[in-house]
């Protein structure tokens, strides 16, 4: 988009604040319709139907024939109230609304109480519900469902245990990581392409790293989870998480709750093999975990205004198995929203939230010492405003404007001695040689691999300012077709400011316990990157008899640049992208019992500030030298750096003037079958291809600067002189090219990825029992840099295979979040004595795994190369070598106590019911067979959580 100067920005803001349009959502709205009649079939005109959605009151009146309809219902659990002048009684109906559905009700108003259900004159029945959405969302999780499931109210772990397509960066069970933003992977997409919205406004972090808020799930009315696209916008092929906050209601209501775990309520679970390596305790265990909050909502004023407010807090303290002192976290959150009518057609709403997370020992683990952690504070602020005008029962105009900010302050631990130290390829060992390590020495090599002060402290601010405008209408078309049309635009400004610091500006690297090399960093450094983005989008979802077609198109214009410290801009680049989708749903049987779905979409990546950060001239540069610790003090002094080996970082990188935004093409096919009234079956298949991926190409040291050499490989048993010994070809860099690295950020030819898979979902629901089981089988293949972390083995890792030919060895394989097979099962049932029980079972294959061989004696220093392919086809299997699978079964049992005012709920959660201890991450470097693949992390043991909730 053309760079907007300040007067231009002001005009756009004024325009956004003076018009009134409907905010785009990442889900299709739905329709509620029906008729109100007496018991003899006569129409009942002027009946009022009312509910609250998005913090705003929706009210409609039945016409002279008793018919009512509303076409812009948001997903979630809605409490519909029915009123009529002929009776003082109010009828109520709980409607669970999924995106893109049509719910038709039959409402009978009896002449006297007692003729209907119970003592109310109102009798309300569901007459028909039809799914009309060509792209069916993965899940709509309502507040009541979230409350019924065992959880620590952590969004990312909840999705990881309930959604078949989600893999989280941490397999969190009892909430040990419930203070962190976790990375998610879905269907082969990069974690950086996940999108999040709150009230229809984007709250995605500017670099793709989580959200610009830390959501309090207790304040959410519903969560809509989809993958790959939204019905309006077309940016971001990853997960789309739409958060719908709670709002006030006509009657005063609220709740308070408290949950608690501690070490006395937790088991231990190291296996016999772990105990052989003297791992007698879990990686992390609770000392205590307290999580509580208070909420209050209601209405005030003659023309009701609705308000809702909430505060909550968490206090975590946990033990790390090889550290003497516990680590702690404190988290506080606050939310408030207000909404009300300006006239019979206009309503406004305001929303604000803030969060603060203080983690005094951020990053500490069995591998990272307490001194090498960071004292980190994260703060989040979100403010939104909306103005909605109902032009008619079939047309809606609305506007939204929102600001989200995240600040991060990181400090080194006070008193941390010396300089940062990190081990290269910890755990590497060979058998059959003198002084081969014992199992306990092997374990010691895997503990405390990062010592001294933290290698880097990063602080900064991320911000997003957005305005959206959409006109939505429902119209009749040719051949009695029904059209749901949406036209709109959005404007967004995002920025990221970062400051980098390191103790003495060095990182010390050790190999096999000895000084090896040193990184010299040009810190402190400060960078600022920004993107201006405008999008126009239009869609039409129309139904003709049993056929529903959805057509959508969007044009996105983005301009990014670096704002340098002296005030000028650099690397200004503009992208204009066209995207679209077409989908069809055909109801083979009346009532939607059998629905066939198919769709094709082209989805553009959401532009990220990290793209411009990679080329910011003010960024942090790294020079890698060989290190001769001549005085043996294990500290670096000037003059101990010998041969330069490599340089990297933004100061050595330039941007391709023709750089293009990556895009994904996706095709889908699905079948939904209503087997019985209580049971449904869904089948879904997809194929995705990613194109124009971005990476760094090393222009200064091209592949021609390397010479192939053969080196000995001891084989999978890690023992020299056995039958599986062999040779592999690696690449030795020419001496004269060391340190000559210069990079180009570009779209390398042929750099692409694909993912494909199948999903099966079975749902069963009666009045007392509900269950849903899903299984996904998929694979994601790309050429990525070696590594066992999400930010390394990902298509968004720019420092990839075009930098060094050794990184390209067997690089084409599964990405970090490819799990092969995923299974999720959740069930809830009513028990006697007003008790309920729910169960979540979660299974996923392990991480893609490949053995690394550290190679010594090369001019460029020690490098690690893959010796086997990670992914499909390796070792003759469909999914390739992996770590062991992960699984957990979590259960919640709770009982209601009816009180004079409100009700009390006592809750017991049991996490990891079977006390599994499967390895979540294993050391991948070559070592003797009986010693290697030692777990670096394994599952949290069984833990009990006690909770109490009071509602009124």
Condensed to tens digits (0 to 9), the pLDDT of residues 185-231 reads: 999 899 999 999 999 899 999 999 999 999 999 999 989 888 876 65
Instruction: Say if strands 514-521 and 506-511 run parallel, antiparallel, or are unpaired.
Output: antiparallel
Q: Measuring CA to CA, how many Å separate 280 from each of 30, 929, 938?
A: 54, 21, 12
Provide the 3-class DSSP secondary structure of residue 505.
helix
Q: Comparing 43-47, 92-96, 402-406, 719-723, which segment has the lowest mean pLDDT?
A: 92-96
Rounded to whole angstroms, how far apart are CA atoms 308 and 90?
Answer: 23
| Cβ–Cβ < 8 Å for 425, 852 | yes
Read off the pLDDT of each residue in 67-88 and give the average, rounded to a whole number: 88
Mind listing the pLDDT tens digit for each residue in 324-333?
Answer: 999 999 999 9
What pLDDT, on a 0 to 100 scale, did the predictor assign at position 234? 63
Could you tell me the end-to-end alpha-carbon distance of the chain, in angstroms, rounded to an integer?
A: 51
Mind listing the pLDDT tens digit for each residue in 680-694?
Answer: 899 989 999 999 999
Distance of CA 60 to the CA centre of its chain: 37
How many CA within 13 A on the CB side of residue 150? 32
Task: Assign 4 a pLDDT band (cuts: 50, 70, 90).
Answer: very low
Q: Cα-Cα-Cα-Cα dihedral of 706, 712, 716, 721, to 10°? A: 180
Task: Assign 183 a pLDDT band (cuts: 50, 70, 90).
Answer: very high
Rounded to whole angstroms, how far apart are CA atoms 924 and 922?
Answer: 6
The total of other beta-carbon atoms located within 10 Å of residue 479's CB is 7
What pLDDT, on a 0 to 100 scale, did the predictor assign at position 241? 92
- For 784-820, strand residue ranges (E) read 812-814
The total of other beta-carbon atoms located within 10 Å of residue 384's CB is 24
Mention every residue, 6+ apart, whose C-beta is less than 8 A from residue 374. Answer: 359, 361, 362, 363, 410, 411, 412, 413, 454, 457
Q: How deeply is 239 buried, as exposed, middle or buried, from its count of CB atoms within 10 A (0-12, 13-18, 19+)? A: buried
Peptide bond into 524 cis (omega under 30): yes
For residue 24, is pLDDT > 60? no
Rounded to whole angstroms, how far apart are CA atoms 454 and 370?
Answer: 9
Mind listing the pLDDT tens digit for each residue in 887-908?
Answer: 999 999 999 999 988 999 999 9
Provide the 3-class DSSP secondary structure of residue 191.
helix
Mention every residue, 6+ apart, whose C-beta is less than 8 A from residue 140. Answer: 75, 76, 96, 97, 98, 99, 222, 223, 224, 225
Task: Assign 529 a pLDDT band (cuts: 50, 70, 90).
Answer: very high
Provide the 3-class DSSP secondary structure of residue 446.
helix
The total of other beta-carbon atoms located within 10 Å of residue 87's CB is 17
Average pLDDT, the chain: 89
Task: Assign 555 a pLDDT band (cuts: 50, 70, 90).
Answer: very high
Provide the 3-class DSSP secondary structure of residue 349.
strand
Task: Assign 99 a pLDDT band (cuts: 50, 70, 90).
Answer: confident
Beta-bridge partners for 758 = 685, 777
Length of the chain counted residue by residue: 952
Read off the pLDDT of each residue in 254-270 and give the average, rounded to a whole number: 96
Mind listing the pLDDT tens digit for each residue in 374-393?
Answer: 999 999 999 999 998 888 87
To which H or E segment does residue 460 belong?
strand 457-476
Rounded to whole angstroms, how far apart are CA atoms 273 and 832?
Answer: 43
- Taking alpha carbons only, the member of 418, 276, 398, 411 closest to residue 348 is 398
To which H or E segment does residue 914 belong?
none
Rounded to whole angstroms, how far apart are CA atoms 939 and 831?
Answer: 30
Sign of CA dihedral 245, 248, 253, 254: positive
Rounded to whole angstroms, how far apart are CA atoms 518 and 639?
Answer: 12
| Cβ–Cβ < 8 Å for 19, 469 | yes
Place of tokens 């995002």: 494
Q: How deeply is 117 buried, as exposed, middle or buried, from its count of CB atoms within 10 A (0-12, 13-18, 19+)? A: middle
Structure tokens at 118: 């119970």
Structure tokens at 656: 């391709």
For residue 19, is pLDDT > 70? no
- Taking alpha carbons only, the member of 889, 764, 892, 890 closest to residue 835 is 892
- In degrees, rounded to 5, the angle at the alpha carbon of residue 220 between the alpha carbons of residues 218 and 224 is 130
Q: What is the DSSP string of 279-329?
A: --S-SEEEEEEEEEEEEEEEEETTTTEEEEEEEEEEEEEEEETT-SS-EEE
| Cβ–Cβ < 8 Å for 928, 719 | yes
Task: Assign 116 a pLDDT band (cuts: 50, 70, 90).
Answer: very low
Mind listing the pLDDT tens digit for each residue in 214-227?
Answer: 999 999 998 988 88
Structure tokens at 5: 């100067």
Strand order in the sheet with 743-746: 653-655, 743-746, 695-698
Task: Assign 98 a pLDDT band (cuts: 50, 70, 90).
Answer: confident
Structure tokens at 933: 């693949």
Task: Assign 834 a pLDDT band (cuts: 50, 70, 90).
Answer: confident
Rounded to whole angstroms, how far apart are CA atoms 376 and 511?
Answer: 29
Read off the pLDDT of each residue in 726-750 and give the average, rounded to a whole number: 96
Mention every residue, 6+ apart, whose C-beta is less than 8 A from residue 721. Answer: 432
Provide the 3-class DSSP secondary structure of residue 757.
strand
Q: Could you tell me which residue, 442 or 852, shows the higher pLDDT?
A: 852
Rounded to whole angstroms, how far apart are CA atoms 678 and 672?
Answer: 14
Rounded to whole angstroms, how far apart are CA atoms 780 and 782?
Answer: 7
Q: What is the DSSP string of 624-677?
A: EEEE--TT-SSS--TT-EEEEEEEESGGGEEE-TT----EEEEEEEEEEEE-SS
Instruction: Say if strands 239-245 and 195-198 run parallel, antiparallel, or are unpaired.
Output: parallel
- Taking alpha carbons only, the member of 43, 92, 90, 95 closest to residue 70 is 95
Mention every residue, 6+ apart, whose C-beta is less than 8 A from residue 300. Answer: 307
Place of tokens 């699905």: 670
Read off the pLDDT of each residue in 258-273 and give the average, rounded to a whole number: 95
- In degrees, rounded to 5, the angle at the alpha carbon of residue 352 between the alpha carbons of residues 349 and 356 is 170
Task: Assign 27 a pLDDT band (cuts: 50, 70, 90).
Answer: low
Mind listing the pLDDT tens digit for each residue in 737-748?
Answer: 999 999 999 999
Mind listing the pLDDT tens digit for each residue in 575-609?
Answer: 999 999 999 989 887 666 888 999 999 999 999 99
| Cβ–Cβ < 8 Å for 603, 194 | no
Rounded to whole angstroms, how far apart are CA atoms 590 and 588?
Answer: 7
What pLDDT, on a 0 to 100 scale, did the predictor assign at position 541? 86
Q: Could you tell me which residue, 376 or 876, shows the higher pLDDT?
A: 376
What pLDDT, on a 0 to 100 scale, did the predictor assign at position 12? 36
- Taking alpha carbons only, the member of 369, 371, 513 closest to residue 442 is 513
Phi first, then psi, for residue 200 (nearest 5°) are 85, 0
Phi first, then psi, for residue 865 (nearest 5°) are -125, 145
Looking at the chain, the whole-number percentage of residues with pLDDT higher than 90 is: 63
- Taking alpha carbons only, the member of 805, 809, 800, 815 closest to residue 753 is 815
Rounded to whole angstroms, how far apart are CA atoms 319 and 478?
Answer: 67
What pLDDT, on a 0 to 100 scale, did the predictor assign at position 723? 92
Rounded to whole angstroms, how far apart are CA atoms 435 and 443?
Answer: 16
For residue 523, is pLDDT > 50? yes
What pLDDT, on a 0 to 100 scale, did the predictor assign at position 137? 67
Rounded to whole angstroms, how far apart are CA atoms 641 and 843?
Answer: 49
The total of other beta-carbon atoms located within 10 Å of residue 185's CB is 25
For residue 118, is pLDDT > 80? no
Q: Comparing 14-23, 456-465, 541-550, which segment has the lowest mean pLDDT?
A: 14-23
For residue 52, is pLDDT > 50? yes
pTM of the predicted model as reported, rounded to 2 decimal places: 0.91
Rounded to whole angstroms, how far apart are CA atoms 164 and 821?
Answer: 9
Read off the pLDDT of each residue in 435-458 and give the average, rounded to a whole number: 89
Q: Comparing 133-147, 291-305, 724-738, which segment has the lowest mean pLDDT?
A: 133-147
- In degrees, rounded to 5, the angle at the alpha carbon of residue 530 between the alpha carbons of residues 526 and 535 is 165
SS3 for 674-727 is ECCCCEEEEEEEEEEEEECCCEEEECCCCHHHEEEEEEEECCCCCECCCCCCEE
């Amino acid at each position: 988009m053309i760079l907007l100067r300040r007067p231009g920005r002001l005009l756009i803001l004024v325009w956004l604040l003076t018009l009134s349009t409907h905010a785009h959502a990442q889900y299709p709205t739905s329709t509620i319709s029906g008729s109100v009649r007496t018991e003899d079939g006569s129409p009942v005109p002027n009946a009022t139907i009312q509910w609250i959605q998005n913090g705003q009151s929706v009210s409609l009146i039945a016409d002279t024939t008793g018919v009512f309809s509303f076409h812009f219902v948001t997903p979630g659990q809605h409490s519909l109230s029915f009123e009529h002048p002929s009776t003082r009684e109010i009828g109520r109906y709980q409607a669970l609304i999924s995106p893109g559905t049509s719910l038709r009700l039959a409402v009978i108003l009896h002449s006297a109480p007692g003729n209907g259900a119970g003592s109310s004159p109102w009798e309300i029945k569901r007459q028909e519900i039809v799914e009309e959405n060509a792209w069916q969302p993965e899940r709509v999780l309502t507040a009541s469902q979230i409350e019924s499931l065992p959880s620590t109210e952590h969004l990312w772990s909840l999705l990881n245990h309930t959604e078949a397509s989600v893999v989280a960066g941490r397999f969190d069970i009892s909430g040990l990581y419930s203070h962190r933003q976790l990375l998610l992977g879905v269907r082969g997409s990069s974690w950086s392409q996940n999108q999040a919205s709150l009230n229809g406004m984007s709250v995605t972090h500017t670099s793709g790293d989580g959200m610009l808020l830390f959501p309090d799930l207790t304040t959410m009315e519903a969560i809509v989870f989809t993958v790959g696209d939204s019905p309006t916008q077309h940016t971001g092929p990853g997960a789309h998480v739409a958060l719908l906050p709670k709002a006030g209601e006509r009657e005063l209501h609220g709740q308070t709750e408290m949950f608690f775990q501690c070490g006395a309520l937790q088991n231990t679970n190291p296996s016999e093999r772990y105990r052989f390596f003297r791992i007698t305790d879990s990686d992390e265990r609770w000392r205590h975990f307290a999580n509580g909050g208070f909420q209050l909502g209601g209405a005030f004023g003659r023309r009701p205004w609705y308000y809702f407010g909430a505060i909550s807090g968490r206090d975590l303290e946990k033990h790390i198995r090889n550290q003497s002192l516990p680590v702690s976290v404190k988290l506080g959150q606050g939310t408030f929203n207000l909404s009300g009518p300006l006239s019979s057609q206009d309503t406004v709403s305001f929303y604000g939230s803030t969060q603060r997370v203080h983690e005094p020992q951020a990053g500490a683990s069995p591998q990272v010492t307490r001194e090498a952690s960071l004292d980190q504070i994260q703060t989040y602020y979100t403010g939104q405003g909306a103005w909605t005008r109902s032009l008619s029962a079939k047309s809606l105009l609305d506007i939204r404007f929102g600001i989200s900010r995240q600040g991060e302050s990181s400090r080194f631990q006070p008193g941390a001695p010396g300089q940062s130290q990190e081990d290269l390829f910890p755990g590497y060992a060979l058998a059959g040689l003198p002084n081969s390590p014992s199992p306990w020495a092997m374990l010691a090599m895997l503990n405390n691999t990062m010592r001294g002060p933290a290698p880097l402290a990063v602080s900064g601010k991320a911000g997003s300012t957005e305005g959206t405008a959409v006109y939505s209408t429902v119209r009749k078309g040719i051949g009695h077709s029904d059209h749901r049309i949406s036209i709109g635009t959005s404007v967004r400004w995002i920025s990221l400011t970062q400051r980098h610091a390191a103790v003495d500006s060095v990182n010390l690297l050790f190999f096999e316990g000895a000084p090896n090399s040193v990184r010299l960093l040009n810190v402190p450094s400060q960078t600022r990157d920004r993107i201006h983005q405008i999008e126009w989008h239009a869609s039409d979802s129309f139904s003709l008899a049993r056929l529903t077609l959805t057509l959508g198109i969007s044009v996105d214009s983005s301009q990014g640049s670096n704002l340098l410290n002296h005030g000028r801009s650099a690397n200004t680049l503009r992208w204009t992208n066209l995207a679209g989708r077409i989908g069809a749903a055909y109801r083979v049987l009346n009532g939607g019992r059998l629905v066939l779905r198919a769709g094709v979409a082209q989805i553009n990546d959401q532009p990220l500030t990290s793209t411009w950060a990679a080329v910011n001239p003010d960024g942090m540069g790294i020079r890698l030298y060989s290190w001769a610790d001549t005085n043996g003090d294990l500290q670096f002094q000037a003059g101990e750096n010998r041969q330069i080996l490599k340089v990297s970082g933004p100061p050595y990188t330039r941007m391709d003037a023709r750089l293009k935004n990556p895009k994904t093409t996706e095709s889908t096919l699905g079948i939904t079958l209503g087997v019985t009234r209580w049971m449904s079956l869904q089948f879904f298949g997809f194929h995705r291809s990613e194109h124009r991926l971005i990476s760094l190409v090393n222009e200064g040291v091209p592949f021609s600067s390397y010479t192939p050499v053969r080196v000995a490989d001891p084989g999978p048993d890690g023992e020299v002189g056995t039958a599986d010994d062999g040779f592999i070809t690696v690449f030795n860099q020419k001496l004269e090219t060391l340190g000559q690295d210069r990079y180009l950020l570009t779209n390398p030819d042929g750099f692409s990825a694909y993912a494909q898979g199948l999903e099966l979902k079975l749902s069963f629901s009666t009045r007392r029992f509900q269950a849903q089981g899903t299984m996904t089988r998929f694979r994601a293949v790309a050429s990525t840099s070696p590594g066992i972390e999400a930010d390394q083995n990902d298509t968004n890792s720019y420092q990839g295979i075009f930098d060094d030919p050794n990184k390209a060895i067997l690089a084409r394989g599964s990405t970090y979040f490819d799990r092969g097979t995923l299974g999720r099962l959740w069930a809830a049932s009513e028990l006697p004595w007003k008790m309920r029980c729910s169960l979540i079972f979660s299974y996923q294959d392990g991480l893609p795994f490949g053995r690394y061989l550290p190679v010594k004696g090369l001019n460029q220093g020690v490098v690690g190369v893959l010796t086997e392919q990670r992914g499909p086809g390796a070792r003759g299997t469909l999914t390739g070598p992996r770590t062991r699978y992960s699984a957990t079964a979590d259960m919640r049992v709770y009982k209601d106590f009816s009180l004079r005012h409100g009700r009390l709920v006592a809750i017991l959660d049991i996490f990891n019911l079977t006390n599994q201890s499967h390895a979540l991450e294993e050391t991948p470097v070559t070592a003797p067979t009986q010693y290697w693949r030692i777990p670096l992390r394994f599952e949290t043991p069984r833990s009990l959580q006690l909770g109490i909730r009071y509602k009124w």
